[in-house]
Amino acid sequence: MHHRRVRRRSSRPGRDPLPLGAAGSGGGRGQSATEFALFLPAFLAIVLIGLDFGRVFLGWVSLNNSARIAANFAAQNPSAWSSRKPNTAALAQYQQLVRNDAGAINCTLPSVIPAPAFPAGTEIGAPANVTITCSFQLLTPIIGDIIGNPLPVTASAAFPIGAGEIRGIPVIPPEPTPAPSPTPSIDPDASPTPIPSPTPAPMCIVPDLFGVSTRIAQDLWGTAGHGGSDGAQFTTSVIFNPQVGGPGSDYTIRGQSLAPGQSVGCGTTYITVTP
């Protein structure tokens, strides 16, 4: 004879059984709030650090652009910083040009923008160097305590001088303006004076500079000559386009503004050569 075993389910009188996991739900919410409170300051610090470094990088990029603008202006106006006769209008324009371009940067510029440096002189092709440093205010106190606050940011740029004298080529002074001739008095008894014929201006033959290096072009154009070739006796200077004179800027001439063999005035004609 078979007997069936019946398992009796015990329960607390007057109460329903608790759902699975209901007893620990309050403890889980408390643990999540604690973890969030510990994580939030670290997360905010990381966000602020990222914002600070992003602002500093964008400011450095803009400051580099301001330095390039300043160096380009100095390369076009090198004589403005002459110790004998400075150009005060150009110096003021240089200061205002840098401040206008750096106006959008959250960085404090010095009260006077540093003057450009001309380490190789102010001849054509020599570099004009500009270095600008500004102070950047950080937002994150921890980073400011570590690397300093405000943070100095520096940018530099250099441009070759494009206007001025070419080293080794003399600058011809302008011809003086002749004084006006006095009004002649009329003498009815005087015999007429013959009018002298004008003295013809000296003429020179344009040399063929095609294939010639720019190093000897001025000698062949002027009176020095080169090797077995005599100079063309011109008293003016060769105009190089682009300019030469700096390191590595020499080139072979492939074009000239005056055709070879022309007879032109020795002192009033210039020639332009190109690569």
pLDDT at residue 149 greater than cutoff 80: no
Domain boundaries, the chain: 41-160, 201-275
pLDDT in tens, 217-227: 888 888 888 87
CA 227, CA 4: separation in Å to the nearest integer? 130
pLDDT, averaged across the chain: 77
Residue scoring higher pLDDT (64 or 103): 64
71/61 Cα distance (integer angstroms):
15
Closest CA to 273 of 181, 193, 209, 205: 209
186 CB contacts (<8 Å, ≥6 apart)?
A: none
CB 261 within 8 A of CB 253: no
Select the more confidently predicted residue: 52 or 161: 161
Q: What is the pTM of this model?
A: 0.45
